[in-house]
Amino acid sequence: MGPFSATYAEARDKFLAAAKAAGASLSAYVHPERGPDGGELATDVAWIGPADAAGVLVLVSGTHGVEGHCGSGAQVDWLQRGEAARLGPGLAACLVHAINPYGFAWSRRVTHENVDLNRNFIDFGRAPPDNPEYDKLAAAVKPLDWSPESQAASRAVLLDYARANGFPALVQALSGGQYRHPDGIFYGGAGETWSRRTLTAIFRERLSAASDVGLIDYHTGLGPEGYAEQIVSAGPDTEEYRRAALWHGLAATSVSGGDSVSAKLAGDWLDAAPRLLAHARVTGIALEYGTIDTGKVVDALRADNWLHAHGDPTGPEATAIQAQTRAAFYVDTDLWRGMVLGQSLIATRQAVAGLTKAVA
């Protein structure tokens, strides 16, 4: 398993040990909930380099909980490889481990509020984005019963929608973000989640002196198995996108530009980062690693959603559904893990090179 872990608790232990060995300063933001084993949940932050560094590399894992198996492994590998030695004068690294520790520990993609953190960074002082297409599918997404017959019937509704409108339209309807169904999937919330407040506080407390910030957010579940698409939230006509393409290469895609495997999102934190860090130049990407067939990923999300909306998260069905969800977002093979680490290493080195030039 190397730097990767089978559970949140193991991942946290590995991260803290690797950070201490690398000479990082550590702080913890303790979550109000507990893990399935009754253990403490927390977002841990490791800082390496001067506190007032002009350029900061920020690596974030666990935005989508269970996807933290991938991101945590990449962070631990970065620390264990001694990559911090590549940070030249004026640079620092900030590793945010498990920004959604509840989802990581419970093998869920969402926070304890059943909120998709990457749909939560909207202005709740205004009317939330509308998604009427999700409304049409809400009952099929979350049937009351999770019998084989119910699963087949509800899946047929989704497939009929895809046949009528196209598969990209189905993906957009389901995953673009919705704000009317608190017990559904890809729910953006009715207010700021604990994880949003925590990430905002970390940025405010740690990055106030930075003139340039390079962000990498680790994700899984979309695209060809093992391939990491470099996704930029900003549009292709923006300075942020042009910097990201300059740092990471022309393979970088834009969510808002429509050329990404991801749907166009409402409320993702990479899109909000330039506003949160208005004093700095922000250059951010999400590394989106492919896992399994998208239909199976959606089935896993629906199963998890049913378990927590109508089932028993500690009951007899829980073990199989949690394993199904984990398998949708973490491919347990040496080949996949190797692809994760190799592509992460390239991306972090590209970001460090970009930051070095930016602050020179």
DSSP string across 41-110: EEEEEEEES-TT-SEEEEEE--TTGGGHHHHHHHHHHHHHTTGGGG--TTEEEEEEE-SSHHHHHTT-SS
- Supply the pLDDT for residue 254: 83
CA dist., res. 57 & res. 80, Å (int): 16
Single-letter residue type at 269: W
Q: Of 178-187, 207-216, 258-267, 336-345, which range is least confident?
A: 258-267
**Is residue 260 pLDDT above 60, yes or no?**
no
The superfamily in CATH containing domain 8-124+192-294+327-359 is Zn peptidases (3.40.630.10)
Any idea which residue has 């497939």 for tokens? 159
- Supply the pLDDT for residue 136: 95
CA dist., res. 128 & res. 266, Å (int): 9
- Supply the pLDDT for residue 253: 87
Contact (CB, 8 A) for 48 and 18: no
pLDDT band at 266 (very low <50, low <70, confident <90, very high): confident
Any idea which residue has 């990407």 for tokens? 285
List CB contacts of 164: < 8 A, sequence separation 6 or more.
Answer: none
Q: How many CB atoms neighbour CB 265 within 10 A?
A: 24
CA dist., res. 80 & res. 239, Å (int): 33
Note the pLDDT tens digit of each residue in 217-228. 999 999 999 999
Would you report the helix, strand and coil content of the chain in percent, each value rounded to 5? 45, 20, 35
Q: Which neighbouring-strand residues pair with 58?
A: 94, 215
pLDDT band at 333 (very low <50, low <70, confident <90, very high): very high
CA dihedral (275, 16, 338, 351) positive or negative? positive
**Is residue 207 pLDDT above 80, yes or no?**
yes
Closest to 134 in 3D by CA, of 158, 153, 110: 158
Question: What are the φ and ψ backbone dihedral angles of 108, each rounded to 5 degrees?
Answer: -125, 155
Which pTM value belongs to this model? Answer: 0.96
CA dist., res. 266 & res. 271, Å (int): 9
Strands (E), 154-309: 212-225, 228-232, 253-254, 281-290
Q: What is the mean pLDDT of residues 59-69?
A: 98
pLDDT band at 188 (very low <50, low <70, confident <90, very high): very high
Contact (CB, 8 A) for 86 and 112: no
Residue length, the chain? 360
Domain boundaries, the chain: 8-124+192-294+327-359
- Supply the pLDDT for residue 250: 83
Q: Which residue has the higher pLDDT, 69 or 260?
A: 69
- Supply the pLDDT for residue 35: 96
Pairing of strands 40-48, 25-34: antiparallel
pLDDT band at 252 (very low <50, low <70, confident <90, very high): confident
Query: What is the enclosing helix (H) or strand (E) of 25?
Result: strand 25-34
